[in-house]
Each structure stands twice: as C-alpha cells, then as structure tokens.
Structure 1
Amino acid sequence: MRDFRLYAITDERSHPGRDLAEVMEEAILGGADIVQLRDKHNDRAAVLERAKMLRKLTRKYNVPFIVNDYIDIALEVDADGIHLGQGDTPLSVARKLVGRKIIGISTHAIEEALLAEQQGADYIGVGPVYPTATKADAAPVTLSYVREAAAKIRIPFVAIGGIKLHNAEEVIAAGAKRICAVTEIVGSPDVRGICEAFIRKLEQGGAIHGVS
C-alpha cells in the first residue's frame, strides 16, 4: 500500500450542523492522506450513502479510502480497503473477500500486532494511546506500546486514540511516523489548519529522528 502520515476518520457527532463532505475535504486539503469512514450509529443505507460520497471525494484527490467494518459496502463502492477490530471478521476471511485491497487491523498489544503482521495485514492501528471518547471502553495502551511497535513491527502502524496537537510530539518521539486523530480534526473549527499543524509536527519529528 501507499505510505501515509495523517489518517483522518469520520465522526459526524463531532461537527453537528456541518456537512461531512465539506469537513473531510478540508482535512484532505490540510494534508490528511488517508480517510476512513467509521459509522457506528446510522443504518446500512445511510452508511452506504456516505461511503459513495466519500469514495467520490477521495478519488478527486487521489487519497486512499477505507471503510470500517462494512466489507460489503467497501466492495460495493470499490473502496481501497477495510479496517477491522479485534472482534470483527477474521483477517483470513476478510482477505478472501477483498482480495488485494488494503486491510488494516486495530491492535492493543504487541501480540495482536505481531499476529496481524503474520496474517498479512497491510497496516495496523496502535492504540488507544490516550483515553478517548470515541473508544470510551478501551484502556489506553500508553506510549510504551508505541515504542514496542516501532521496535518490532515491520508493516506500517498508525498511532491512534486521544491524540491532540498538544501531545502529538511525544507520540512521534516514541516512534510513530503516522498518526490518526478523530475529534481533534473533524471537531475543529479550522479542520484544514489543524491538519496542517499535525503535518508540521510529523515533519519536524522526522527531521529530528532522521526519518525521511
């Protein structure tokens, strides 16, 4: 898969009254270079409608589009990939369904990360790094898991969960070359500006640690 730095995930509850397409376009214009549709609240028809819209938007900007959970919708709109949690469709089954499309897996411990890598995941999520309202029932994995993933995982990993501008530098310093923010991006009154600020922190971190 094409590498990325800033992963943006939808959360319409974070921007009431603002259009989803407008918010996600601003994120892309600000530097988000991969977009995921994550919708745990609407019915399938509504999720499909959003997926079609985001597929059109991401094609316009040549940005990979990922669908969370809904493998059938991902296939229907020809998304670039899917993202699965630990309790979702097993990776081996998903691979048979989606073929060479991207498969991302959420992981919360190094054992899960190593298994996902062994089974052929294209990337993994490492988190939640900090407490987060989007995964209120999940215990934070802390920066120690970010460091462990940086040392042991060979496929791309993205740090996720409670990441804000004020703590992004310590996540990057722990070894994350890719970060994901949800509410900090889509809930911002300046979506494009917040994404640009994240990109600057990633670039500064890369320069400090000798990462190109």
Structure 2
Amino acid sequence: MVEEVRTVKLNLLNLTERKSKLLSELLNVCKSAGDHLFKTAVYLEVFNKPESRFALQEVEYDHIKERFALHSQIIVDLCKDVFTAYRNGGLNFFKYTIPYNVPRSSKLAETENGNPVISVATLDGRIGLPISQDGAWERFNEFLEDGYEFTSFRLKKEQDDWHILVSLRRESEVKGEFDSVLGVDVGSRTLASVTVLSKERVEEQLYFGRDVWEKTEGYLHQTKRTPVSC
C-alpha cells in the first residue's frame, strides 16, 4: 500500500473584525510559544536532549498550557513543528501557521443555510470561519468523494487574508514489482518537490523552481515601489 497525499488551499470569505482579531491574537501567541519551545530545545541540547518531539513535549507541555493558555492539541502540534525545525537547523523552517486537529480542536460544519464553515478553537472559545465555495472548495470535495480523508489542517495568514491548508490522504494499492516510487508535488512557491522513496527509506528529495518564486516576488515588490507618472 502507498499513501497518496494531496494539498488544497481553501479560501475564506471576509471575516468580521472580531474574528480577524481573535485569529491574529492566537497566531501571535503561537509565535511566542514556538519561540519559547525552540529556545528550550536548544538549551536541552547541552544535556543531549531532546531526543524526540515527545521528550520536548514532556518537558514543556504543562508550562506552555499554563503560560500561553493554548488548546491541548495545538500545543502537541507546536511541539512537533518546533522539534522538526530544531532538527532542520533553524526556526525559519517553522512558518508559524496555526495547527488544528480534527475533530479535537476543529471540525467542518454547515450553517443553517447550508454554507460550509470550519469551527476552530481560539483563546476565547470557538468561532466559525466561512469557506468560499470556489474552485478550491470544489476540488476539495472531489478529493473527498474519491476516498481522501483529512485529520488536520493549518490556518495561514497571507497579508490580511486567511487560508486553510488541508492535507488529504488515502491508501492506494500498488500493483506489480517496484524498487522505488517517485512522487512529485506541484506548488506555487516551489514549482516541483520531487521525492524518491524506496521500500526502506526516502532516497532523495529535490526542490525545483524556488528561484523563480523568489525572483517573481522581487519583481512584484519593485513594481509596488516604483512610482507611476501620468
């Protein structure tokens, strides 16, 4: 069996001022908690710890819960994210998206009018975030109909807009003999992420097109700063 993974970025409709404020406050607290966890991981390195994300979680869970008042599942996911960043050499790997587990800290629902919403935990209770019923939402539902499932997602802030990043997974049977599998993930920031996976381990990972994204962003910033004469 091989696990297939698809990622969909769902767009939200315009949020009320209160909901935007609650999400921004939560994001800032996640940043602070993430910074604290990373410093703890670096400090524990002196004592040859943490050897795993579970070790980091065991040391810091109660303290993070008391100091930052985050939802339990968010703390667990933060420990996992920060430990991954720590093992990869820096916090830049950790993009400060807000992690959610389904159904513990979030769930997909509908309003009385049948409009889709995602219910998420904040520092001040749960709120419903209205999902735009656009092409991304249609693709998301097509994947669900094809047997994909999701147990988590992330909230990402891009300038003043919020988006839901969902990873959908399903198990597929591979017929025939093979020595390795080639996986390609096409995106906007990285045009193609290529993974070569053997029966034993990940053999190689390649990332193509990052320079294109960086140059494009540079041109966009230059265009915004360039005055236009009439």
Q: How high is the TM-score relative to the length of structure 2?
A: 0.28
Larger-Rg structure: 2
Q: Which has the higher helix share?
A: 1
